[in-house]
Amino acid sequence: MLASVTPAPSYSSQVYRVIRPSLVLIQVTRNSRSGGRDGLGSGVIINNQGDVLTSLHVVEGAETILLTFADGSQSRGHVINEQPEHDIAVLQAETLPEVLIPAVIGSANALRIGDEAFVVGHPLGLYGSMSAGIISGFDRSFQPRDDKPRLEGLIQIDAAVNPGNSGGPLLNRYGHVVGIVTGLANPTDQDVFIGIGFAVPIGVAGGAAGLPPY
């Protein structure tokens, strides 16, 4: 008689369980009279004070910022620090959730090309979506639209990245944050993923929130 064996959970399911409590949905309203558009993005809690790390372009020019935490609680948010040269912003909530679970910070320096790469965020408003791929390259550069400064020193990934993923965490196989998703490369004018995404290494992005270099 064969004994039944329960397979071990996949890396991806473990990664999702580790990061989900730290995810933040970011909804932004902008003044339409000045040509702004409402938008959404992703963020991640990165310390015991509840600071949220995200991409600056997600919240830039926002009239209001609404943060939704993993437990469903919501709060107005405010930008408390910016790194325009790296497209990074730090947000602070007016009201924190009752249970605060910061993400575990990893080291981008420990990554190698071919390592697993996981992206968790809210693409197209689909809350808590996950994609998986590999690390495709390092020290890449990317030119955002709207004449923004060219971003340098980025991690290239092939895990799917779409509008709404910006500002969300790039994760290693342990669920540790190793980068902040900043953009996708596309030779057309469409905001759709063609296999090349970019993230700011956490050792750079975390500096905006006073994290030590990793």
At 120-140, the pLDDT tens digits run: 999 988 899 999 999 999 999
42 assigned to active site: no
- Asked whether the beta carbons of 124 and 98 are under 8 A apart, the reply is no
- Asked whether the beta carbons of 105 and 46 are under 8 A apart, the reply is yes
Measured CA angle at 159 (ends 144, 130), to 5 deg: 110
13 assigned to active site: no
Of 87, 122, 136, 158, the active-site residue reads: 87
- Asked whether the beta carbons of 23 and 40 are under 8 A apart, the reply is no
pTM: 0.90
Instruction: Give the pLDDT score at 73.
Output: 96
Q: Report the distance separating Cα 166 and Cα 83, nearest Å.
A: 15
| Phi (first) and psi of residue 135, to 5 degrees | -75, 120
Of 22, 42, 55, 57, the active-site residue reads: 57
38 assigned to active site: no
Residue 28 pLDDT > 90, yes or no? yes
The tens digit of pLDDT for each residue in 52-82 reads 999 999 999 899 999 999 999 999 999 999 9
Q: pLDDT confidence of 1, banded at 50, 70, 90?
A: very low
Place of tokens 């605060």: 100
Residue 195 pLDDT > 80, yes or no? no
Domains along the chain with CATH numbers: 20-93 (2.40.10.10), 108-209 (2.40.10.10)
Of 22, 136, 166, 176, the active-site residue reads: 166
